[in-house]
């Protein structure tokens, strides 16, 4: 792995105007950002435009950007802020004025793990159950378990205090347990048993 540079070095090179570093950052993270955006909206063009706007803003402000050793987190945080702003504007235009907008993550069997021909019944049941959680619970579980973000990072993205984030994860998991009733749990066990 001697050819790979630490993220902090790539980021510093980008901040100093290195076009190769910019290209590396974009190529490595654009698909991730697109998939992340699809959790909030099915408007593919809006998501692509938001990614483009994010990178244009980064290029214009690169001299003023701080250091980071976690580019993915930095981009996700910035992208979420920009996407929510764009979705609010879109919502206002479509509904004739500023309306409140709450970002909502949706778990979709079809978009997860693109390339697989089919999803198992167990996975489909889990995704349906996740979508029954409230928006904040879905979002925090996504960051914690799909993105493997640590609590301080989650707190920064979601504007939460550390204790609140931990409680929200705990409550989300408790709610998920309740949603997966005995019938669904038996169904999951039966499906798992049949596939052995």
Mean pLDDT, rounded, for 96-115: 55
Q: Please tell me the predicted confidence (pLDDT) of residue 116.
A: 47
Are 88 and 125 within one domain? no
pLDDT band with cut points at 50, 70 and 90 for residue 117? very low
Number of domain units in the chain: 2
Q: Does residue 47 sit within a domain? A: yes
Q: How many residues does the chain have?
A: 196
Q: Which two tokens stand for residue 178?
A: 């309740």
- CA–CA separation, 17 vs 63, rounded Å? 8
pLDDT band with cut points at 50, 70 and 90 for residue 155? very high
Q: What is the pLDDT of residues 49-64, one digit of tens each?
A: 999 999 999 999 998 9
Q: How many CA atoms lie within 13 A of 148 on its CB side?
A: 2
| pTM of the predicted protein model | 0.73
Q: Does residue 109 sit within a domain? A: no
CB within 8 Å of 8: residues ≥ 6 apart? 67, 68, 69
Domain containing residue 164: CATH number: 1.10.10.10
Domain containing residue 33: CATH number: 1.10.1740.10
Q: Does residue 114 sit within a domain? A: no
Are 83 and 139 within one domain? no
- CA–CA separation, 32 vs 27, rounded Å? 10
Q: Does residue 136 sit within a domain? A: yes
Report the range of poorest mean pLDDT among 24-28, 115-119, 152-156. 115-119
Are 14 and 85 within one domain? yes
Q: Does residue 65 sit within a domain? A: yes
Are 90 and 11 within one domain? yes
Q: What is the pLDDT of residues 132-153, one digit of tens each?
A: 888 899 899 889 988 889 999 9
Q: Does residue 159 sit within a domain? A: yes
Q: Which domain holds residue 168?
A: 121-194
Q: Does residue 115 sit within a domain? A: no
> C-alpha distances in angstroms, 56 versus 51, 59, 73, 180, 189?
9, 5, 18, 44, 49
């Amino acid at each position: 792995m001697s050819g790979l540079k630490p993220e902090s070095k790539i980021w510093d090179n980008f901040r100093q105007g290195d076009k190769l570093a910019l290209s590396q950052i974009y190529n490595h993270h654009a698909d991730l950002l697109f998939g992340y955006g699809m959790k909030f909206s099915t408007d593919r063009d809006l998501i692509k435009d938001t990614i483009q706007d994010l990178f244009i803003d980064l290029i214009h402000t690169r001299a003023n950007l701080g250091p980071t050793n976690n580019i993915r987190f930095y981009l996700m945080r910035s992208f979420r802020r920009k996407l929510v702003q764009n979705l609010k504007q879109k919502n206002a235009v479509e509904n004739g004025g500023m309306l409140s907008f709450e970002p909502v993550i949706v778990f979709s069997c079809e978009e997860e793990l693109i390339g697989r021909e089919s999803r198992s019944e167990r996975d489909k049941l889990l995704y349906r159950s996740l979508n029954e959680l409230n928006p904040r619970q879905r979002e925090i579980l996504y960051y914690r378990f799909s993105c493997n973000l640590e609590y301080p990072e989650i707190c920064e993205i979601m504007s939460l205090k550390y204790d609140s984030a931990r409680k929200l994860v705990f409550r989300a998991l408790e709610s998920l347990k309740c949603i997966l009733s005995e019938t669904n749990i038996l169904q999951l066990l039966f499906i798992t048993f049949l596939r052995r």
